[in-house]
């Protein structure tokens, strides 16, 4: 945890006069900006207008208001987007959050802008937050952002210079593999055991045609493929006494909706594997530029002896390399299997920027105390792992 002090003379407070912020409170008014918004998204699907506004359509609630900050230049050109909404509750007060946050777990979100405009856009937003709309929010809560994200880091520095507290806490890692040009070169990066077992599995199941990988190409195939994904995911999670992501009807409706749009845009990679004609594994990924983002999967627990998860990742990675992709991103979560496929960690953080109001500072102090208590409890009440393999 890094707590940045609320004074810093090294950061200038002046916002560039050539930029201004317009807050969008109406989803309909944003539709005309889709192309300009996506031009700032840098091929990251979770940053796109499509993803954000589909999320808003499904997750809007009475205590949530759209609060998208649009940064424009003197000519009215869109140069920055802060994709936020305002949530009000008795416990937390008025909190600005990222569209797509919560159970959807949208990774790599940020303040959208060109690299050369990070400093002026962040300064403009900070001046606006600390001035014009200072009384409309109490906490800015940015979850699951990349630790190295320059726009979020600069926004934090600018807010500190204006008397705000910035709380910066580790939130696990995302994991990604940089893919080489050919499959054999990739296999050479894995452990000897994983390399040999992968080759044996492909020879035993894929080469003779017992296992066949399918991928959605047409809209009419989407519903069936999504049904397979949901069924396998839920069966796997329920076998582990977990509810599964798709137990949430809102989560399911959002993904069925956005998947259809992603397919139309060429950004969906929905695959499943049939073994002897029976679906045993499914993969739901998003595509952005030369990167595949593995979002969710499902495996048949009754087929555990055939290692459906191993087979799914092996075929997916092999096909990604054959398709010329350069990165396979497993997204957030520190599950051990990711490192076993050669993925490297990329730290994620949760950044909280605290308003200057006494009520905001009091809520933050109470929250910090609760976090300290939770850390103490995890440390001292953790069950012994002695003798557990």
Q: Chunked in runs of 10, what are the mean pLDDT values of the chain (389 residues)?
A: 41 62 94 96 97 98 97 96 97 96 96 97 98 97 95 98 95 97 96 96 95 97 97 95 96 98 97 97 98 97 93 97 98 96 97 95 86 54 36
Q: Is the pTM of the predicted complex or chain greater than 0.85? A: yes
pLDDT of residue 384: 39
In a domain, 386, yes or no: no
Q: Look up the domain containing 269 and give its range.
A: 180-325
Provide φ and ψ at 9, rounded to 5°: -85, -5
In a domain, 148, yes or no: yes
Same domain, 149 and 273: no
C-alpha span between 253 and 54 (Å, rounded):
10
| H/E element, 211 | strand 211-215
Helices (DSSP H) in the chain: which residue ranges? 27-30, 34-39, 49-59, 118-130, 150-161, 183-187, 192-201, 222-239, 249-264, 308-322, 336-340, 358-380
C-alpha span between 61 and 45 (Å, rounded):
24
Same domain, 320 and 355: no
Same domain, 255 and 275: yes
CB atoms within 10 A of CB 367: 16
In a domain, 8, yes or no: yes
C-alpha span between 42 and 50 (Å, rounded):
14
Same domain, 165 and 190: no
Same domain, 21 and 148: yes
Same domain, 10 and 90: yes
In a domain, 371, yes or no: yes
Provide φ and ψ at 273, rounded to 5°: -120, 130
Same domain, 19 and 159: yes
Same domain, 112 and 64: yes
Copy the structure tokens of residue 71.
Answer: 């940064």
Same domain, 9 and 157: yes
Provide φ and ψ at 362, rounded to 5°: -65, -45
In a domain, 239, yes or no: yes
Same domain, 318 and 360: no
C-alpha span between 135 and 84 (Å, rounded):
16
Candidates 153, 74, 166; CA nearest to 111 is 153
In a domain, 389, yes or no: no
Number of structural domains the chain divides into? 2
Same domain, 62 and 11: yes
**Cβ(52)–Cβ(81) under 8 Å?**
no
In a domain, 339, yes or no: no
**Cβ(329)–Cβ(174) under 8 Å?**
yes
Same domain, 41 and 18: yes
pLDDT of residue 372: 61
In a domain, 35, yes or no: yes
CATH number at residue 209: 3.40.630.30
């Amino acid at each position: 945890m890094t707590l940045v002090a609320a004074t810093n003379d090294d950061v200038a407070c002046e916002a560039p006069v050539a930029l201004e912020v317009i807050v969008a409170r109406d989803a309909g008014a944003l539709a005309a900006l889709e192309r300009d918004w996506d031009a700032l998204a840098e091929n990251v699907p979770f940053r796109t207008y499509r993803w954000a506004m589909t999320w808003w359509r499904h997750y809007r609630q009475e205590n949530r208001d759209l609060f998208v900050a649009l940064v424009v230049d003197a000519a009215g050109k869109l140069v920055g987007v802060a994709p936020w909404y305002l949530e009000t509750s008795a416990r937390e007060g008025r909190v600005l959050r990222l569209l797509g946050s919560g159970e959807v777990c949208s990774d790599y979100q940020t303040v959208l802008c060109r690299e050369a405009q990070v400093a002026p856009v962040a300064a403009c937003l900070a001046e606006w937050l600390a001035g014009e709309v200072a009384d409309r929010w109490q906490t800015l809560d940015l979850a699951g952002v990349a630790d190295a994200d320059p726009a979020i880091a600069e926004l934090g520095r600018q807010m500190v210079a204006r008397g705000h507290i910035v709380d910066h806490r580790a939130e696990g890692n995302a994991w990604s593999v940089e893919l080489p040009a050919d499959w054999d070169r990739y296999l050479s990066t894995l452990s000897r055991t994983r390399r040999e077992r992968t080759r044996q599995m492909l020879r035993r199941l894929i080469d003779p045609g017992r296992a066949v990988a399918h991928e959605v190409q047409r809209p009419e195939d989407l519903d069936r493929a999504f049904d397979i994904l949901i069924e396998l995911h839920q069966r796997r999670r329920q076998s582990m006494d977990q509810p599964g992501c798709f137990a949430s009807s809102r989560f399911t409706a959002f993904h069925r909706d956005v998947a259809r749009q992603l397919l139309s845009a060429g950004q969906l990679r929905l695959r499943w594997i049939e073994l002897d004609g029976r679906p045993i594994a499914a993969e739901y990924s998003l595509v952005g530029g030369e990167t595949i983002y593995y979002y969710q999967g499902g495996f048949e627990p009754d087929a555990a002896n055939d290692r459906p998860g191993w087979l799914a990742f092996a075929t997916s990675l092999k096909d990604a390399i054959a398709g010329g992709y350069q990165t396979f991103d497993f997204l957030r979560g520190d599950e051990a299997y990711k490192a076993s496929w050669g993925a490297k960690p990329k730290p994620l953080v949760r950044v909280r920027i605290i308003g200057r109001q006494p009520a905001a500072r009091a809520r933050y102090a109470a929250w910090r105390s609760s976090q300290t208590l939770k850390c103490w409890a995890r440390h001292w009440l953790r069950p012994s792992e002695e003798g557990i393999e």
